[in-house]
Amino acid sequence: MSLEIITSAQNPTIKFIRALDQKKHRQETGLFAVEGTRALERARLAGIAPDYVVSIAGRQDWEQARNIRVSEAVMARLSAQSNASGVIGVFKQLAILSNFAPGPSDVAIALEDIRDPGNLGTIIRTADALTVRHIVLLGDSCDPFSPDAVRATMGSIFGVTLTRLPTAKFMGLIDEWPGEVVATATNGEADFRRLYQRPTLLLMGSEGSGLSRTLANKANVSVRIPMPGAAESLNVATASALMLYEIKRPDLPV
């Protein structure tokens, strides 16, 4: 049975999904939108099913989702991309959000006041590539479910668990951390190219001011990333990638 094609962007369901580009609507509904076949296949691989699937091709192979077929014009209105991909999924944020509970051999990363959604999405994508599943968002970090952040993850948002915590509460968790708590600093005690004790908790700070002194003082390992050039600092996504790859280096295939 073919689906009726929705041709009006004023359709109530279409307006509901379009509004997910607004933070307030995402917070009220607990939903977020993901665009592209590859991203939806990443969700399928993770066993996470959408609530809605909107496409121009008709019914999609998602048993529990509400399938919605739209015209190309409506898809263009829904899409955040210059060239609409042709399929959008709407998912529950709770499928990604989780309590912070790493295992004894895990690596986790805590991000303080990350404001740029592109940086956050890139860090999530790097973490997924390295099977770093636990990401904590502290302070005024941006919304990981915003269209820009989700797009930057390239589907990797379905490969991690996210935890939002007040910094004060997270301080208590650090005090009980059984392994190494690592922070980067220009005057760090050691080169970042070293072996790390598991479980490993990496602390990374904001794009502008870096890690707050209060949080940096909680680290029991301080490392530096050498920068022999004239650049004052590295982009936080780049620095996070360097650190995560080094921490996970013993686990990587040769």
Q: How confident is the model at residue 2 (pLDDT cuts 50, 70, 90)?
A: low
**CB burial class (10 A; 0-12, 13-18, 19+) of residue 83?**
exposed
What single-letter DSSP state applies at residue 206?
Answer: B
Q: Does pLDDT of 1 surpass 60?
A: no
Beta sheet of 180-184, edge-to-edge order? 161-165, 134-138, 107-112, 200-204, 180-184, 221-224, 190-191
Beta sheet of 5-6, edge-to-edge order? 5-6, 66-70, 52-55, 87-92, 31-35
Answer whether CATH 3.30.1330.30 is correct for domain 5-93: yes
Strands 161-165 and 107-112: unpaired
218 to each of 137, 141, 158, 161, 212, how far by Cα in Å?
16, 19, 30, 23, 10
d(CA 66, CA 60): 9
**Would you state the pLDDT for residue 132?**
98
Three-state secondary structure of 31-72: EEEEECHHHHHHHHHCCCCCCEEEECCCCCCCCCCEEEEECH
Domain segments of the chain as ranges: 5-93, 107-251
Q: How confident is the model at residue 224 (pLDDT cuts 50, 70, 90)?
A: very high
pTM for this prediction = 0.95
Answer whether CATH 3.40.1010.10 is correct for domain 107-251: no
Establish whether domains 5-93 and 107-251 are of one fold.
no
- What is the full DSSP assignment across 85-133? -SEEEEEEGGGTB------TT-EEEEEES---HHHHHHHHHHHHHTT--
Residue type, 64: Q
Contact (CB, 8 A) for 117 and 84:
no
**16-55 tens-digit pLDDT:** 999 999 999 999 999 999 999 999 999 999 999 999 999 9
